[in-house]
């Protein structure tokens, strides 16, 4: 029941009409018995400042941030935590001890999903990250700081791969290659992660690398979650590889945000179920 004590949470993005976050978050809040509502707000870049000022004045507990505001939001916050600083983007804002603090739960969410679903020794992983955009920065940061053996960034624009490899080299061994030239790295990888948008609905037949490069002694992981089984995952499965879908990251990045706002563990399996059925 909504009362005068109900607290506010939400999502700022543009557009947000397709988002399943309100269903997932409100189901979680109910199960956690927390008196909050979570709404999606479609805010254009020109309206961002005003929207943030409004949310602060209305004493939101916090909110999520999505495309295109993940970088622009930083100028309206008092502090960034390490993840947001290193990734260079914010997906979660938390009101903490009188300050508005930006966090990024995408990388940690990916890592939790990977370790929950796969039996994996992180210190043994030789990884190929396909892509070098915002999603690659988040996942790369989480994997690098978790102590993996090596990360090769393979990207269409090789300069971006080089920049990310240089950044991640503070924590692990790295390399950068053009995505068209990563056959050797993929064949030697224990984990191949697609962070590009290749294969996303409606261009579901597209695959970021040739299927032939994949093999049975690796995990193939895709951040694309629409469709759940991408062409890359289907190819990996055919080769006998283990498959890790993008659904888990979506749930865990949200679960970590709930934990930051409310200080309580979130109901992971319920949240997954809501996403699977909406």
Decide: is 160 part of the binding site for ligand ATR (CB under 6 A). Answer: yes
| Binding residues among 209-228 for ligand ATR as defined by CB under 6 A | none
Distance between CA atoms of residues 16 and 57, nearest Å: 22
Nearer to ligand ATR by C-beta: 51 or 139? 139
Among the listed ranges 14-22, 40-48, 104-112, 190-198, the one in contact with ligand ATR (CB under 6 A) is: 190-198
- By CB under 6 A, the count of residues binding ligand ATR is 16
Nearer to ligand ATR by C-beta: 144 or 266? 144
Distance between CA atoms of residues 175 and 242, nearest Å: 24
Question: What would the two tokens of residue 277 be?
Answer: 């059925």
117: closest CA among 221, 47, 25? 221
In this structure, the strands spanning 191-194 and 219-222 are: parallel
User: Which residues touch 251 (CB under 8 Å, ≥6 apart)?
Assistant: 24, 109, 113, 268, 271, 272, 275
Owner of token pair 């002694």: 217
DSSP 229: S
**What mask, x for binding ligand ATR by CB under 6 A, covers residues 28 to 67?**
----------------------------------------
Nearer to ligand ATR by C-beta: 10 or 208? 208
Q: Which residues are annotated as catalytic? A: 70
Question: What would the two tokens of residue 241 be?
Answer: 């590889």
Smallest distance, ligand ATR to C-beta of residue 227, A: 17
Decide: is 198 part of the binding site for ligand ATR (CB under 6 A). Answer: yes
Distance between CA atoms of residues 29 and 258, nearest Å: 8
The total of other beta-carbon atoms located within 10 Å of residue 213's CB is: 17
Report whether 188 contacts 217 (CB < 8 A): no
Smallest distance, ligand ATR to C-beta of residue 136, A: 6
In this structure, the strands spanning 36-42 and 191-194 are: unpaired
| Binding residues among 73-112 for ligand ATR as defined by CB under 6 A | none
In the complex, residue closest to ligand ATR by CB: 133
Decide: is 197 part of the binding site for ligand ATR (CB under 6 A). Answer: yes
Smallest distance, ligand ATR to C-beta of residue 197, A: 5
Among the listed ranges 40-48, 49-57, 194-202, 260-268, the one in contact with ligand ATR (CB under 6 A) is: 194-202
Among the listed ranges 53-61, 78-86, 164-172, 193-201, the one in contact with ligand ATR (CB under 6 A) is: 193-201
Q: Which residues pair with 192 in a beta bridge?
A: 128, 220
Q: Longest Cα pair distance anywhere in the chain, in angstroms?
A: 60
Smallest distance, ligand ATR to C-beta of residue 208, A: 6
Report whether 16 contacts 42 (CB < 8 A): yes
Residues forming contacts to ligand ATR in the complex (CB under 6 A) are: 131-136, 155-157, 160, 179, 195-198, 208
């Amino acid at each position: 029941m909504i009362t005068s004590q109900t607290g506010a949470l939400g999502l700022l993005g543009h557009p947000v009409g397709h988002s399943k976050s309100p269903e997932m978050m409100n189901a979680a809040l109910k199960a956690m018995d927390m008196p909050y509502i979570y709404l999606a707000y479609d805010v254009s870049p020109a309206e961002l400042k005003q929207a943030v000022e409004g949310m602060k004045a209305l004493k939101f507990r916090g909110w999520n941030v999505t495309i295109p505001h993940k970088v622009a939001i930083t100028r309206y916050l008092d502090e960034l935590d390490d993840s947001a600083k290193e990734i260079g983007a914010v997906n979660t804002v938390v009101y903490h001890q009188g300050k508005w603090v930006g966090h990024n739960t995408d990388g940690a969410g990916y890592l939790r999903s990977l370790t929950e679903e796969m039996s994996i020794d992180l210190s043994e992983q030789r990884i190929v990250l396909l892509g070098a955009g915002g999603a690659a920065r988040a996942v790369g940061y989480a994997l690098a700081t978790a102590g993996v053996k090596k990360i090769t960034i393979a990207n269409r624009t090789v300069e971006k791969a080089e920049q990310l490899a240089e950044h991640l080299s503070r924590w692990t061994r790295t390399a950068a290659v053009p995505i068209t030239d990563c056959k050797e790295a993929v064949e030697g990888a224990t984990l191949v992660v697609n962070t590009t948008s290749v294969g996303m609905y409606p261009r579901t037949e597209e695959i970021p690398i040739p299927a032939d490069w994949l093999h049975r002694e690796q995990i193939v992981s895709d951040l694309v979650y629409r469709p759940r089984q991408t062409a890359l995952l289907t190819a990996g499965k055919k080769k006998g590889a283990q498959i890790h879908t993008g659904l888990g990251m979506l749930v865990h990045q949200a679960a970590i945000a709930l934990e930051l706002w409310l200080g309580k563990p979130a109901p992971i399996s319920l949240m997954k179920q809501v996403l699977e059925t909406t």
